[in-house]
């Protein structure tokens, strides 16, 4: 979704801003723009579509500027268009604003400003901020921004410049991330560290209700009460920002193939083999509270929700906890009784998903213990939770999540081991899980070595318009996630269902044009899965099964089978999802889809 980057220093600003925008592209967007000041003139260039188009528009224009702000927009208020793209400006056209988030009271403010003769040109909520700053401006940009944000209800990360004020960028944050980059006589502000990581590895994460003022020889940070704050500069290593495709055609394919390493990264240094337990440094500060909770509610969205759904089965298997799993967008509106004996676990790759953020804020208000599994270090969810565990899986660029899903499953298993060993789980049971976990990376490698076979099967089915995915128990979430992968990137209709529910509706859809992907490993549910498969076959439905080599009956009745290695049932879904990721990828590729940036989707969904 929307992204911000900005630069203040002594180099030409536009190439740095454009490079930043390109590094924000993976988040999903529909228009882009920048504003720079050249000799007290505010120059705004915007375009609908890709950053490349923006670059083309700029080409040939002679602009000399060493500070400016830039934005990729994902439409919320008003259609994707050049007028609605950011930066937005005021009546004098001297103020430029880029904004992530949503201003809930923008209509009310707009009416008020129109009465004061402000002329609006766009449909955006952001334009209101520019006019509000104009209204409050009295030679002091910082003061005008402070006065203006007092009036805003909603969420915002903003960057503001004024053409009369040399080398000054004011940024502010409430509910939408802003990171400051500290270079040698140059300073950056962005909504995502990726945008500025080629230029500096030194960063400061702003918290809610904080703002920063950048100029070419320094910066300072304040809170909205106008008090100066001393904040720590964090230095990140090169690895945290590696975002090249390493020779793969798409980021998604690269990320699927990275899974043996990202799975290992998720458990490396986090298991104590001779005690059959895990060691999660991030949870140590809350260990006593963690031991005393009797219920855990997992909240998340999208792929992270399916990881949570599976987490429920894993935690129920290894611990005595009552576990619920809820979509964050529903959880926050429920009439919930939470207290300090309940834990709420947010799972989020980006750590910025607005619904998940809102859900845990609600849980915080009610006194629950807040935990997180997050990939992006320093993200909003990581900041708000009491404690948590990072994935350390490196940036995930493909909009459809792959390597983070399997990494989340590993961490959920480690969390369950940690809690379970304080409860009934024996040393022997714990050790069995650890032993199986350590073998997972090699088993994933085995599956990836079969990519060509999976590709052949995918191509055979690439022309169908509908798919059903079914699974039972641990593989019910796998069916949901497998179907999500296919619909996200190939735009094929795919429904994930618990196999037992098939007879209550979806079976009416089945005919020779509606294939089913059956996740049917050799486990306690296999006989039931076989009878579901037979019901589909009886209606001429084609079956692609994901199964193990000893499940002869499943292989015999399937039209096509993808064989995966076997592991213990709670970890089998980590192996089963890998061929489904590849299956979706090869179908989408065959259909010529934009795999890394599917239409209408965003990597980091920062609106509710």
Report the catalytic residues. Answer: 2, 603
> Applying CB under 6 A, does 176 fall inside the site for ligand G6P?
no
**Of 303, 385, 407, 413, which lies in the binding site for ligand G6P, with binding defined by CB under 6 A?**
303
Stretch that binds ligand G6P, among 65-73, 83-91, 274-282, 299-307 (CB under 6 A): 299-307
Shortest distance (Å) from residue 320 CB to ligand G6P: 28
Shortest distance (Å) from residue 353 CB to ligand G6P: 3
Bridge partners (DSSP) listed for residue 160: 97, 170
Stretch that binds ligand G6P, among 288-296, 298-306, 458-466, 575-583 (CB under 6 A): 298-306
Q: Using CB atoms, what's the residue nearest to ligand G6P?
A: 302
| Distance of alpha carbon 440 from alpha carbon 21, whole angstroms | 37
Q: Which two tokens stand for residue 469?
A: 């995915």
Pick 8 or 370: Cβ nearer ligand G6P: 370
**At residue 538, what are phi and psi to the nearest 5 degrees?**
-60, -20
**Of 45, 159, 393, 399, which lies in the binding site for ligand G6P, with binding defined by CB under 6 A?**
399
Stretch that binds ligand G6P, among 50-58, 358-366, 397-405, 456-464 (CB under 6 A): 397-405
Q: Which of 355, 391, 397 is nearest to 373 (CA)?
A: 391
Q: CA 354 → CA 69, 154, 332, distances in Å?
A: 24, 11, 11
Q: Which of 267, 285, 287, 571 is nearest to 421 (CA)?
A: 287
Bridge partners (DSSP) listed for residue 497: 470
> Applying CB under 6 A, does 304 fall inside the site for ligand G6P?
yes
Binding letters toward ligand G6P, positions 330-359, x by CB under 6 A: ------------------xxx--x--x---
Pick 80 or 500: Cβ nearer ligand G6P: 80
Pick 161 or 404: Cβ nearer ligand G6P: 404
Pick 149 or 593: Cβ nearer ligand G6P: 593
Pick 194 or 303: Cβ nearer ligand G6P: 303
Contacts of 577 (CB under 8 A, 6+ apart): 405, 406, 478, 481, 482
CA 413-415-420 angle, to 5 degrees, is 90
Residue 109 region by backbone torsions, left for phi larger than 0, else alpha for psi between -120 and 50, else beta: alpha
Name which of residues 588 to 607 contact ligand G6P (CB under 6 A). Answer: 601, 603-605
| Distance of alpha carbon 551 from alpha carbon 131, whole angstroms | 67
Pick 5 or 349: Cβ nearer ligand G6P: 349
Asked if the peptide bond before residue 87 counts as cis, ω within 30 degrees of 0, the response is yes
Shortest distance (Å) from residue 372 CB to ligand G6P: 10
Q: Which of 124, 109, 108 is nearest to 2 (CA)?
A: 124
Q: CA 134 → CA 39, 92, 128, 141, 150, distances in Å?
A: 20, 8, 10, 9, 14
Shortest distance (Å) from residue 603 CB to ligand G6P: 6
> Applying CB under 6 A, does 5 fall inside the site for ligand G6P?
no
Size of site (CB under 6 A) for ligand G6P: 16
For the chain, first and last CA: distance in Å? Answer: 12
DSSP 500: G
> Applying CB under 6 A, does 162 fall inside the site for ligand G6P?
no
> Applying CB under 6 A, does 401 fall inside the site for ligand G6P?
yes
Pick 299 or 321: Cβ nearer ligand G6P: 299
> Applying CB under 6 A, does 73 fall inside the site for ligand G6P?
no
Residue that is written with structure tokens 């076979």 in the block: 453
| Residues near ligand G6P, by CB under 6 A | 301-304, 348-350, 353, 356, 399-401, 601, 603-605
């Amino acid at each position: 979704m929307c992204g911000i980057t900005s630069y203040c220093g002594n180099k030409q600003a536009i190439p740095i801003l454009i490079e930043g925008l390109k590094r924000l592209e993976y988040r999903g967007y529909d228009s882009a723009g920048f504003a720079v000041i050249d000799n007290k003139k505010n120059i705004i260039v915007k375009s609908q579509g890709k950053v490349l188009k923006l670059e083309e528009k700029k080409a040939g224009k002679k602009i000399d500027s060493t500070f400016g702000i830039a934005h990729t927009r994902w439409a919320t208020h008003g259609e994707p268009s050049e007028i609605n793209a950011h930066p937005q400006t005021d009546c004098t056209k001297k103020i430029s604003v880029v904004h992530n988030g949503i201003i809930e009271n923008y209509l009310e403010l707009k009416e008020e400003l129109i009465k004061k003769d402000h002329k609006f040109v766009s449909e955006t909520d952001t334009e209101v901020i520019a006019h509000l700053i104009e209204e409050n401006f009295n030679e002091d940009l910082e003061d005008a921004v402070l006065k203006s944000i007092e009036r805003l209800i909603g969420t915002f990360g903003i960057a503001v410049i004024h053409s009369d004020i040399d080398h000054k960028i004011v940024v502010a944050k409430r509910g939408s991330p802003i990171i400051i980059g500290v270079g040698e006589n140059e300073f950056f502000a962005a909504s995502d560290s990726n945008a500025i990581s080629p230029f500096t590895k030194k960063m400061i994460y702003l918290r809610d209700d904080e703002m920063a003022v950048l100029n070419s020889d320094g910066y300072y940070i304040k809170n909205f009460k106008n008090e100066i704050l001393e904040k720590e500069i964090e230095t990140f290593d090169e690895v945290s920002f590696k975002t090249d495709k390493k020779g793969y055609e798409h980021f998604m394919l690269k990320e699927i193939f990275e899974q043996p390493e990202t799975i290992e990264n998720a458990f490396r240094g986090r298991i104590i083999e001779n005690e059959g337990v895990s060691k999660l440094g991030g949870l140590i500060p809350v260990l006593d509270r963690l031991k005393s909770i009797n219920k855990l509610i997992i909240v998340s969205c999208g792929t992270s929700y399916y990881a949570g759904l599976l987490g429920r089965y894993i935690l129920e298997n290894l611990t005595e906890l009552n576990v619920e799993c809820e979509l964050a967008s529903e959880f926050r509106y429920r009439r919930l009784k939470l207290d300090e004996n309940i834990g709420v676990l947010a799972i989020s790759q980006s750590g910025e998903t607005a619904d998940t953020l809102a859900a845990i804020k609600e849980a915080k208000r009610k006194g629950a213990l807040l935990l997180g599994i997050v990939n992006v270090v320093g993200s909003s969810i990581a900041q708000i939770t009491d404690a948590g565990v990072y994935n350390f899986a490196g940036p995930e660029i493909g909009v459809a999540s792959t390597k983070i899903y399997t990494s989340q499953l590993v961490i959920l298993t480690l969390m369950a081991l940690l809690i379970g060993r304080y409860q009934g789980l024996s040393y022997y049971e714990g050790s069995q899980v650890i032993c199986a976990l350590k073998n997972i990376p090699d088993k994933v490698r085995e599956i990836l070595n079969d990519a060509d076979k999976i590709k052949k099967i995918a191509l055979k089915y690439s022309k169908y318009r509908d798919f059903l995915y079914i699974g039972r128990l641990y593989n019910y979430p796998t069916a949901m996630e497998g179907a999500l992968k296919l619909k996200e990137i190939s735009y094929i209709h795919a429904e994930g269902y618990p196999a037992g529910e098939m007879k209550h509706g979806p079976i009416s859809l089945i005919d020779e044009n509606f294939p089913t992907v059956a996740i049917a490993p050799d486990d306690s549910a296999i006989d039931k899965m076989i009878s579901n498969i037979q019901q589909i076959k009886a209606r001429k439905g084609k079956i692609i099964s994901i199964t193990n080599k000893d499940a002869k009956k499943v292989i015999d009745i399937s039209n096509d089978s993808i064989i995966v290695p076997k592991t213990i049932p709670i970890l089998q879904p980590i192996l089963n999802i890998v061929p489904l990721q590849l299956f979706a990828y090869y179908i989408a590729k065959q259909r010529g889809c934009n795999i890394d940036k599917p239409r209408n989707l965003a990597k980091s969904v920062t609106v509710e």
